[in-house]
Structure 1
Amino acid sequence: MRGYLCQKPAAAVLQAKTAQQAWAQRPTRDRLRAVGRIASQIALHQAELLALSPRINATPAEIIASELLPLADACRYAARVGRRALAATTHSLRRGAWWMGRINVRIIREPWGVVLILAPSNYPLFLPGVQIIQALAAGNAVLVKPAEGCEAVLQRFAQCAVAAGIPAELLQLLDSSIATGQQAIEAGVDKVFLTGSANTGRTVLAQLSQSLTPATLELGGCDSVFVTESAELNRVARCLAYAIQLNGGATCIAPRRVFITPAQQERLCSLLIEELRSARPTRPAGFQFPFAVVKQLNAAVQQALREGAQIAHGELPDLPSNNPSHLSMRPLVLRGVNPRMNIVRDDIFAPIVSLLTVPNMSSAIEADRVCPYHLGASVFGSRVDAEQWGQQIRAGCVVINDVVVPSADPRVSFGGCAQSGWGSTRGWEGLLEMTRPKSICTRFGNWLPHLDRANVENASVMSALLTLLHSPNWRNKFASIRTLITRG
């Protein structure tokens, strides 16, 4: 089927390399126009894309708002800013080393070649989709390994891209098996973009290390929320209730840890429980989760309870002995949690949030760093306070007085640090991540001072030159000028 070329990875890589060379030679504006037209295709075929989404814990409205709309926005954003982001830059001669002679320095952005996108299951269209369109805009060919069960929606998206003017050979979908991803890496892709867990990241990096293939990794999250003394608690509660239920809690930047002072905790806890109870009639059966996820959550919560935490809202689901594929559960709120408990040091994709009391925001920043994951964070409070604390938080994206949603703005660059990965996707930085810089150094004129052996091999001349250019002492500078005049 056109726009969906599921073949052996080695053949796909070979075909992609050939197609990419022609694509990279096309004018940037032509590539960007094709990428921009994908937004129109998404709008035209939204019903089909919606019907093919495998997200069982999201309503149609949520899927449109969290995947289709932001992906279309990202297409238009890339089309509008791509020429500036990917344009060559020339550095002023005045900022250079004049003693080397006249050298023009120009930095160009080159596509990597063939990039492999290892896609996640939680947002199976938006997350890989933005990486796809940015890779294409930058001049790359793309291979995509979907998550299991997510093949159909990405197939339809690939067809939308082809209808917008993207050559079919440039965007190829592989099957969803782990072995296929490994074979694609072995076949010689030029860069890998992974969205997944930290454990998956370690496994992929172990293979990439053999060929020294570069990678951008967006890994697990256990995101923090900082509630300052000036925060509006009603707003905090509404945002938390929304975010921990978004996609059933299967969001990498969903809030898991809420740092709050003892004076605010009771009020916020009551407001949050009230918000969650008011939302319950819309989901009487709760959310559906793989048995393995519920088992992981159960173990972490049980350990926290043994160490002094309490369940403020919700209850743990029973674990049946027949190991069903999925179980249902409702949102869970814990209190009395401390930063060293496993429940706030792990990336669990479930609707759970923990309240951690701290005496002040400085202590909250320190406690936050106990967790190995630093993907995103939110700060609630007056704008001045929140922005000040936001600059001190270790995270790739900090949202002020909101949660999650602003990170889907097409201008936002997104990436984590520590065990949440490295590199950026989306936004301006995401476009640059799809390229590598190349410096073009052009010599002007006939003066080649490094070929004048009489000066280059004269240590006193070179020392005088260093003194003239960089000494803080003006007397020494004038002395160096005399040395250069007499010996130069």
Structure 2
Amino acid sequence: MTDSSTTAAAITITCPVDGRMVGRVMGHTRADVRSAFAVARRAQPVWAATPVSDRKAIMLRFHDLVLSHRDELLDLIQAETGKNRASAFDEVLDVAVTARHYAFAAAGLLAPQRVKGALPVLTRTVVEREPVGVVGVISPWNYPLSMAVSDAVPALLAGNAVVVKPDSATPLTALKASELLSAAGLPTELFQVLPGPGEEVGGAIADECDYLMFTGSTATGRILGAKAGERLIGYSAELGGKNPLIVAPDADLARAARGARQACFANTGQLCISVERIYVHEEVAGGFTARFLAEVSAMTVGAGPGWDVDMGCLISEEHLERVRSVVDDAVSKGARVLAGGHPLPELGPTFYAPTVLTDVPPDAELYDGEVFGPVVFLETVTSVDEAVERANETIYGLNASVWAKPSTGSRIASRLHAGTVNVNEGFAAAWGSVSAPMGGWRASGLGRRHGAVGLTKYTETRTVATQHLVPVSGPPGVDRELFSDVMSTALRWGKRVLR
């Protein structure tokens, strides 16, 4: 019997389109994870002492390398996932934009910040930031470049080392990104990619890291969150979603239909922020539905490097069966299929038609459970208030989409219980706004990526307060009651001044 603590089986990566072998990589064990963290911990202090300007230069070179290796990365992403080329390019674009953004933002975010002291003039208070140490990233298969790298970039710029466990179905893309980071000048010890079994390698990373970043299912997120809580380490997780889209009476219906198609079926619906529920106001339900179904019927589903393909395949035959079972369950309970609702075996074993349903009953799994596939259902509502109420009836709160005139859309958006809301977009506007935080409410996760917190979460703060002339408790020899009277008067005066 093989001792899994010392050896691990090689991992064979196959293309979900046709099952052909794409490559093989070495699997890793708990012992390998411990060794990787030991190497990272030796290298990290040197990196933390490296000027931020040097780290910035490396990330800007990485930005250029990602773009210059665009086609190679697109081919690799498509081979591992079966997604269409435009969805693969979303990953290349995301990583390049993220690297550039944080390269320029890092110095300001990491600089010591002067804040108000305990006593004006007499107290000088500064907040300093230090890297947490070694960050663990556990990334999913649906975005093998973005999720393995875009969370690691700010962690590295903050002065940390990073150990990544990619999904076993898609490790080659993360390994290629590691090569590009090394070519950009990043020491190899600072970004290590360890493919291997999730329970073993992912569990070991959660046991070893100083901060854990996870993207995946809510069920696994809860398990890892419990581990992080037990160890008292920082934890950020983007988890599941059952994201709604609202079509208001004043929406541009043609634009809404096109946008809804992208919101529902980009990346074959295999993304946490895709739309799975559409609530249409009764005044425009007929017009929107006709336009939306026309958009769906015009979609090109297939494989290969053509930019004209609108949707690729699912990640595996097992996942296709999962999607089919959820749709069949809904139909058996009374749902009606308006488009799709079946596999496309003529294209390959993992292709499923873009699917639209209506009349989905509440007892169907599809009604409130995440499908993570090219499936959406429509409901007609009598008012915007009803649409908002239905949209918020979920354990999740990751993303939402509103189609309306901008003023109407903004009012609706502010009532939705979601970490990101897109007005006249599906998800890309909020996701692409890397200066703003992105993440989920409730069962959709905790913590945020993007924005200032997307980098500062990988740091520990140190407050340094220097007291001048007299102590906060008052000058030596001064009567304590007199001092308390003086301070009370000062506070009352200060309140009036600040009004």
TM-score by length of 2: 0.84
Query: Equivalent residue for 1:146?
Result: 166
Does structure 1 retain, via aligned residues, the 8 Å contact 2:83–2:314?
no
Q: Which runs of 5+ in 2 are unaligned?
A: 1-25, 303-308
Matched letter for residue 85 of structure 2: P
Does structure 1 retain, via aligned residues, the 8 Å contact 2:101–2:434?
yes
Q: C-alpha separation between the residues in 2 aligned to 1:437 and 1:167?
A: 26
CA shift in 2, pair 1:445/1:245, >3 Å:
same
Q: C-alpha separation between the residues in 1 aligned to 2:203 and 2:45?
A: 24
Q: C-alpha separation between the residues in 2 aligned to 1:392 and 1:83?
A: 35
Moved more, 139-148 or 363-372: 363-372
Matched letter for residue 59 of structure 1: N
CA shift in 2, pair 1:397/1:281, >3 Å:
closer
**Counterpart selection for 2:298 from 263, 269, 278:** 278
CA shift in 2, pair 1:125/1:453, >3 Å:
farther
Q: C-alpha separation between the residues in 1 aligned to 2:232 and 2:193?
A: 24
1:425-440 mapped onto 2 (5 Å cutoff): 425-440=449-464
Q: Deviations over 1:267-321 (max 9, x none)?
A: 21111111111114666997335344334334433443455432211124499xx
Secondary structure of 1:403's aligned partner = coil
Matched letter for residue 123 of structure 2: I
Q: C-alpha separation between the residues in 1 aligned to 2:88 and 2:186?
A: 25
Q: CA deviation at 1:471?
A: 8.9
**Counterpart selection for 1:80 from 104, 107, 116:** 104
Q: CA deviation at 1:127?
A: 2.0
Q: CA deviation at 1:356?
A: 2.0
Q: CA deviation at 1:56?
A: 3.7
Q: Which runs of 5+ in 1 are unaligned?
A: 320-324, 475-488
Q: C-alpha separation between the residues in 2 aligned to 1:461 and 1:338?
A: 69
**% identity of equivalent residues:** 26
Matched letter for residue 60 of structure 1: R
Residue 250 of structure 1 pairs with residue 279 of structure 2: no
Query: Equivalent residue for 1:114?
Result: 134
Q: C-alpha separation between the residues in 1 aligned to 2:438 and 2:368?
A: 21
Query: Equivalent residue for 1:39?
Result: 63
Q: Deviations over 1:188-223 (max 9, x none)?
A: 310000000001101212322331222100111111
Query: Equivalent residue for 1:171?
Result: 191
Residue 236 of structure 1 pairs with residue 256 of structure 2: yes
CA shift in 2, pair 1:213/1:38, >3 Å:
same
Does structure 2 retain, via aligned residues, the 8 Å contact 1:285–1:329?
no
Does structure 2 retain, via aligned residues, the 8 Å contact 1:339–1:368?
no
Q: C-alpha separation between the residues in 2 aligned to 1:463 and 1:421?
A: 48
**Counterpart selection for 1:380 from 397, 403, 424:** 403
Does structure 2 retain, via aligned residues, the 8 Å contact 1:289–1:327?
yes
Query: Equivalent residue for 2:20?
Result: none
Q: CA deviation at 1:21?
A: 0.6
**Counterpart selection for 2:422 from 399, 421, 434:** 399
Moved more, 48-57 or 349-358: 48-57
Q: C-alpha separation between the residues in 2 aligned to 1:62 and 1:189?
A: 31
Q: C-alpha separation between the residues in 1 aligned to 2:86 and 2:312?
A: 18
Query: Equivalent residue for 1:30?
Result: 54
Residue 469 of structure 1 pairs with residue 491 of structure 2: yes
Secondary structure of 1:333's aligned partner = strand
Moved more, 293-302 or 26-35: 293-302
Does structure 1 retain, via aligned residues, the 8 Å contact 2:246–2:402?
yes
Query: Equivalent residue for 2:392?
Result: 369
Query: Equivalent residue for 1:346?
Result: 369
**Counterpart selection for 2:92 from 36, 61, 68:** 68
Q: CA deviation at 1:85?
A: 2.2
CA shift in 2, pair 1:340/1:415, >3 Å:
farther
Query: Equivalent residue for 1:479?
Result: none
Does structure 2 retain, via aligned residues, the 8 Å contact 1:237–1:268?
yes
1:124-135 mapped onto 2 (5 Å cutoff): 124-135=144-155
1:202-241 mapped onto 2 (5 Å cutoff): 202-241=222-261
Matched letter for residue 391 of structure 2: D
Query: Equivalent residue for 2:434?
Result: 410
Residue 300 of structure 1 pairs with residue 326 of structure 2: yes
**Counterpart selection for 1:192 from 212, 225, 241:** 212
Q: C-alpha separation between the residues in 2 aligned to 1:107 and 1:22?
A: 22
Matched letter for residue 153 of structure 2: I
Does structure 2 retain, via aligned residues, the 8 Å contact 1:256–1:344?
no
Q: CA deviation at 1:442?
A: 1.2
Moved more, 439-448 or 124-133: 439-448
Bigger Rg, which one: 1
Query: Equivalent residue for 1:180?
Result: 201
- Cα RMSD of the aligned pairs, angstroms, is 2.9
CA shift in 2, pair 1:403/1:436, >3 Å:
same
CA shift in 2, pair 1:448/1:241, >3 Å:
closer
Q: C-alpha separation between the residues in 2 aligned to 1:318 and 1:215?
A: 40
Secondary structure of 2:169's aligned partner = coil
Does structure 2 retain, via aligned residues, the 8 Å contact 1:345–1:373?
no
Q: C-alpha separation between the residues in 2 aligned to 1:342 and 1:463?
A: 65
Residue 103 of structure 1 pairs with residue 127 of structure 2: no
